[in-house]
Structure 1
Amino acid sequence: MKNLLFGLIYLFSSSVLLGFQGSSVSDQLRLKLESENPQENILVAGKELQSGVDIHRFYADRNFQEVWSKDGILLEFAYEMRFEIKQSRFDGLNPEDYGLALIEAFFQSFEKNKEAKKANEPGDLANLELLLTDAFFELAEDLERGKVDPSQLKGDWDIDRKPQRANYSELFKKAISEKDIRRNLESLYPKFTIYKRGREVLRALDERLKTDTLDWKAVRVDKSIKVGDSNNAIPALRERLQYWDYLSKYQVNDPKLYDSTMYQGVMAFQKKNGMEPDGVIGKNTATGLNASPSILIDKAAVNLERLRWLPDTVQNLELIVVNIANFQLDYINKLDTLFSSKVIVGKLYHESPIFTAPMSYIVFSPYWNIPNSITRKEIIPAIRKNPNYLKQKNMEVITTSGKYVDPSSVNWSSKSFPYLIRQKPGGSNSLGLVKFMFPNSHSVYIHDTPARSLFEKEDRALSHGCIRLQNPAKFAEILLSGDGSWTPEKIDQAMHRDSEMIVNLPRKIPVVLLYLTFWADSKGQANFRQDIYNRDAEVLALLKK
């Protein structure tokens, strides 16, 4: 609002501020830009432009010739740029970040001049010229690299901000020569089909929001609601299932009764949103149904931003993707998903980090080298209570050089513990029978687990940070499929050895640990997931800042 007021104040006096009224737009641009320090932000109608250096260089290269108008009249090209600024909301960006209010004020002024058959002031045209050009540069950078710098986030997102690869001035020149803003800005999108599909979902949600009349007051479910139960929350939840087309409207005798018809709608909603489709309305189901169109628009915006952060290496033909928020691993080769599996990820206070690293080898029948933090907090206290703990858990004490240490020789009451504890290979090993290694600073990897029943849980944020895989034998078979000697039988034997067996992969495969609480699938259908680590709010606040 402050920028808009500045703009309206300066709108009709800008030609005086810039110089003589009779000069051309080109003269006004030269006067304005040559009087400004290229290293400082340019001030236009009370707004600081963010692309000062690029703007100086761009107009100097073209001898200060205007782009958006000709002979004092706005070109269709300018209207296209205004349209693209407005459309940036479908990228989850805020059009006001690109000076939309001021730009609209100038457009309205020029429309009034047209109706009154009055000439547009060169100073006003020059101001709009700079605002539109600055908007192009700013929007181009945000589309290519993201508005938010992920390295500054509080969460464990270990992916640096992408470097700028595109030359925005050259891209702008190309857009001018082709008279096509849309296609050239679109070239900066992440090279994932889910990005464009996500934009379309956001557009559809925006349309739905225009006609939304529901009361989206949060419904609280203190205990699970099952078919046949009566509950005050049922009418609102039924109405929301019908709103999102999971349930057709039907004759209801008792509005508070959770009936069998509504049960079908609940199961459809649960299945679509990554929940266990048991038809029981618990906390997760209620939370999902509390999400209004505006809440889902914000969630989509956050995740489109996350897609813009991903490095180019993610676009390889072969990669392994773990979406932590979806509790799922996918192996993708040549754009086809050849393997999918449920995974268990880090619990809230042992969050799985976000990063990329190449997988280079597999360890069959692995030792579990227990981290020092777990040794001190969990293992040693257990040994003090139960002297047979190590034997019962198939664990042993070793020196840092790997030599065996007799547990009876260790003073377990001492604060000093200069040793390591590891769990020997076997069915009770916490890593299971195989682990998949992509060396990284987080000491995180993908591995099997003896706790198979945990994969049946809906919320699988249960580990200390590593990724536990439901079907590791099949995954190993796929990764080693280039070597015909690795039959399922041989893999099974390797997984049941008394000692470790390390197998190097013939190529390094990028592993990407993602955190996406929204994406659109190959059919353009929206998928929303719970924000298990409460990370969306921080990104949303920075996007709206």
Structure 2
Amino acid sequence: MQKIFLVLLFFIASSAVFAFQSIESDPIAALLRTKLELENPTEKLEVSGRVLESDVLVHRFYADRDFEEVWSRNGILLELAYEMRFEIRQAKFDGLVPEDYHLALIDAYFQTFEANKAAKKPNEAGELVALELLLTDAFFKLAEDLELGKVDPAKLNGDWEIARKTSRTSYLDLLNEAIAKGEVRQNLESLYPKFTIYKKGREVLRVMDERAKADTLDWKAVKLDKAIKVGESHAAIPVLRERLNYWGYAKSQSVLDPKLYDSTMFLGVKEFQLRNGMEPDGVIGKNTAIGLNASPALLMEKAAVNLERLRWLPDTVQNLELILVNIANYQLDYVDKLDTLFSARVIVGKLYHESPIFTAQMSYIVFSPYWNIPPSIARKEIIPAVRRNPSYLSQKNMDVVTFSGKQVDPASINWSAKSFPYMIRQKPGGSNSLGLVKFMFPNNHNVYIHDTPSRSLFSREDRALSHGCIRLENPALFAQTLLKADPSWTAEKIDQAMHQNKEQIVSLPRKIPVVLLYLTFWADSKGQAHFRQDIYDRDAEVLAALKQ
């Protein structure tokens, strides 16, 4: 037994000596080990004045490979190093900042090494080690930002409550795989959000970047004192026509009167409005002017913000049956296995009653619903109205109940009292503020999707009008689509259920994820860019965090 133990000790000692000798015989490995092991463990590792964000991973990575270099061999840069630098540069098409990944410093080392090559001088070991660490740290940091996003949405002021993803990837394994295959691009691309619109959005950003390089237009904001209709003259028309031509919405042509809003320009304006989510009426109003004020550089920033938002979304919302509400686009889409089965316009929360961003599970439908008025609305709107007009409740088809559901005579209530221990609700019917049906996905915000008696509002271009809930155009068809698995729910039966004097609750056969999100840019399956106005002024904060 003692002999076996001595033999084991001999092999362990021999292995340690061999490893030590192999490191000592490789000056790059020796320098890497010295740099990584002798730095102050309480501080972030620095290389050429730059802090390594992933220093722990970097140390583990090189320790696992006995401090053997990756990006160079025998003092010469490998093709893999050039590919890594290229991917850092390409990060701008993900809306990220290449300098976050040490690009300027990496470029400086590349220039030095290329100059050495031209002068037939050897590269210094210390500089090779510095570049080695910078490229590896850049890989780990870029991988993390591509998978999870650079910005933590929980730290933003905006009401984004979709839980941030947790990493499902070993970045150590990912880099080792990239080295084994000699392929950086493919491994980093595996971290992209799996939504088709992400890759399409990257391509839009690439095209916009080329446009921005060649852009010579003056994008000074055009401000209108009134809407311009076709046939009218205005001093801003020449500039607006030039911008329409730039984006390909109106054919360049000589005009007799440059200030005249002519019929050719009118067609271009309508096409521009349609693409950008506006009413295609051809009238150049505030929203159209704002859209035409957007330069390529500004649109690139908007695209960058929204690619980051796509990185925040959990993978569980892809390729599923789900209900997607893009608040900035005023639209609801019901998607099942990538097929859009239903689309409709929606009305969302006002600026001071913003619809929150979250996910929940839709589980039931309520036909002919009561509207249980939220205490905040009752306190701020309903109770003051009753004080002014004692007949207000009867006129609005409302009643008062205790929290146990017992009816209370409004005449017995002191409407001037400080406390109000009751609940006000609006009875089912055509005048009910929820309309004839509501779709429930229980959540902390008491937000749901519902019908509305104010159908004329759906024709408006700006539809941020509600207290936070989502009002839906054509809710009867939506109900029929959700209940399609049960053939007894015909259009006639749904219409009947929507016109009763009491509620009817219908459970869905399965829970359907509802995702409320906020995208002011996306690219469709054909690669066409779609931009929307930032109705809640949320883009600037994300952009600032991306640039920080």
Bin of the TM-score, shorter chain as denominator length? over 0.9
**Equivalent residue, structure 1, for 2:9:** none
**Equivalent residue, structure 2, for 1:10:** none
Is 2:516 aligned against 1:513?
yes
Which of 120, 123, 131 is the equivalent residue of 1:128?
131
**Equivalent residue, structure 1, for 2:260:** 257
> Separation in 1 of the partners of 2:169 and 2:504?
46
CA contact (8 A) 1:42 1:49 kept: yes
- By how many angstroms is 1:38 displaced? 5.1
- By how many angstroms is 1:401 displaced? 1.1
> Separation in 1 of the partners of 2:512 and 2:87?
38
For residue 492 of structure 1, what is the amino acid of its counterpart?
A: D
Is 2:307 aligned against 1:299?
no
Which of 193, 213, 219 is the equivalent residue of 1:216?
219
**Equivalent residue, structure 2, for 1:533:** 536
> Separation in 2 of the partners of 1:208 and 1:194?
21
For residue 50 of structure 2, what is the amino acid of its counterpart?
A: K
Listed as ranges, the matches of 1:323-334 within 5 Å are 323-334=326-337
> Separation in 1 of the partners of 2:231 and 2:533?
27
Is 2:365 aligned against 1:362?
yes
Which of 374, 384, 387 is the equivalent residue of 1:384?
387
> Separation in 1 of the partners of 2:537 and 2:305?
12
SS at match of 2:89: helix
Tell me: CA distance 1:39–1:190, structure 2 relative to 1, closer, same or farther (3 Å): farther
SS at match of 2:536: coil
Q: Percent same amino acid among aligned pairs?
A: 74
- By how many angstroms is 1:230 displaced? 1.1
- By how many angstroms is 1:160 displaced? 2.7
SS at match of 1:304: helix
CA contact (8 A) 2:71 2:78 kept: yes
Listed as ranges, the matches of 1:461-540 within 5 Å are 461-540=464-543
Question: Structure 1 runs of 4+ off > 2 angstroms?
Answer: 36-40
**Equivalent residue, structure 2, for 1:374:** 377
> Separation in 2 of the partners of 1:317 and 1:410?
50
> Separation in 2 of the partners of 1:59 and 1:293?
43
Is 2:153 aligned against 1:157?
no
> Separation in 1 of the partners of 2:518 and 2:448?
16
What is the aligned length? Answer: 526
SS at match of 1:191: coil
> Separation in 2 of the partners of 1:147 and 1:385?
53
Note the alpha carbon deviations across 1:427-461, whole angstroms, 9 max, x for none. Answer: 00000000000101111000000000000000000
Listed as ranges, the matches of 1:31-430 within 5 Å are 31-37=34-40, 40-430=43-433
> Separation in 2 of the partners of 1:44 and 1:400?
65
CA contact (8 A) 2:369 2:436 kept: yes
Note the alpha carbon deviations across 1:274-294, whole angstroms, 9 max, x for none. Answer: 000000000000000000000
- By how many angstroms is 1:376 displaced? 0.7
- By how many angstroms is 1:260 displaced? 1.1
- By how many angstroms is 1:250 displaced? 1.0
Structure 2: 5+ residue stretches without partners: 1-23
CA contact (8 A) 1:362 1:503 kept: yes
> Separation in 2 of the partners of 1:538 and 1:71?
47
- By how many angstroms is 1:99 displaced? 0.3
> Separation in 1 of the partners of 2:362 and 2:173?
37
For residue 345 of structure 1, what is the amino acid of its counterpart?
A: V
For residue 258 of structure 1, what is the amino acid of its counterpart?
A: Y
For residue 58 of structure 1, what is the amino acid of its counterpart?
A: F
TM-score by length of 2: 0.95
- By how many angstroms is 1:161 displaced? 2.0
CA contact (8 A) 1:38 1:56 kept: no
Structure 1: 5+ residue stretches without partners: 1-20
> Separation in 2 of the partners of 1:292 and 1:252?
24
> Separation in 1 of the partners of 2:25 and 2:313?
50
CA contact (8 A) 2:178 2:184 kept: yes
> Separation in 1 of the partners of 2:49 and 2:277?
48
Tell me: CA distance 1:39–1:360, structure 2 relative to 1, closer, same or farther (3 Å): farther
CA contact (8 A) 1:198 1:526 kept: yes
> Separation in 2 of the partners of 1:128 and 1:413?
74
Tell me: CA distance 1:438–1:61, structure 2 relative to 1, closer, same or farther (3 Å): same
- By how many angstroms is 1:516 displaced? 0.3
> Separation in 2 of the partners of 1:216 and 1:354?
33
> Separation in 2 of the partners of 1:148 and 1:187?
20
Note the alpha carbon deviations across 1:321-364, whole angstroms, 9 max, x for none. Answer: 00000000000011011110000000100000000111111111
> Separation in 2 of the partners of 1:30 and 1:328?
56
CA contact (8 A) 1:38 1:52 kept: no
CA contact (8 A) 1:267 1:277 kept: yes
Question: Relative to structure 2, which stretch is displaced further, 297-306 or 250-259?
Answer: 250-259
Note the alpha carbon deviations across 1:96-153, whole angstroms, 9 max, x for none. Answer: 0000000000000000000010101111100000000000000000000000000111
> Separation in 1 of the partners of 2:323 and 2:303?
23
RMSD: 1.2
**Equivalent residue, structure 2, for 1:29:** 32
For residue 324 of structure 1, what is the amino acid of its counterpart?
A: I
> Separation in 1 of the partners of 2:545 and 2:475?
39
SS at match of 1:330: strand
Tell me: CA distance 1:38–1:179, structure 2 relative to 1, closer, same or farther (3 Å): farther
For residue 234 of structure 2, what is the amino acid of its counterpart?
A: N
For residue 503 of structure 1, what is the amino acid of its counterpart?
A: V
CA contact (8 A) 1:355 1:512 kept: yes
For residue 423 of structure 1, what is the amino acid of its counterpart?
A: Q
Which of 409, 430, 434 is the equivalent residue of 1:431?
434
CA contact (8 A) 1:396 1:404 kept: yes
Tell me: CA distance 1:39–1:484, structure 2 relative to 1, closer, same or farther (3 Å): farther
For residue 287 of structure 2, what is the amino acid of its counterpart?
A: N
CA contact (8 A) 1:448 1:470 kept: yes
Question: Relative to structure 2, which stretch is displaced further, 308-317 or 118-127?
Answer: 308-317
> Separation in 1 of the partners of 2:385 and 2:57?
63
SS at match of 1:66: coil
> Separation in 2 of the partners of 1:37 and 1:339?
59
CA contact (8 A) 2:319 2:338 kept: no
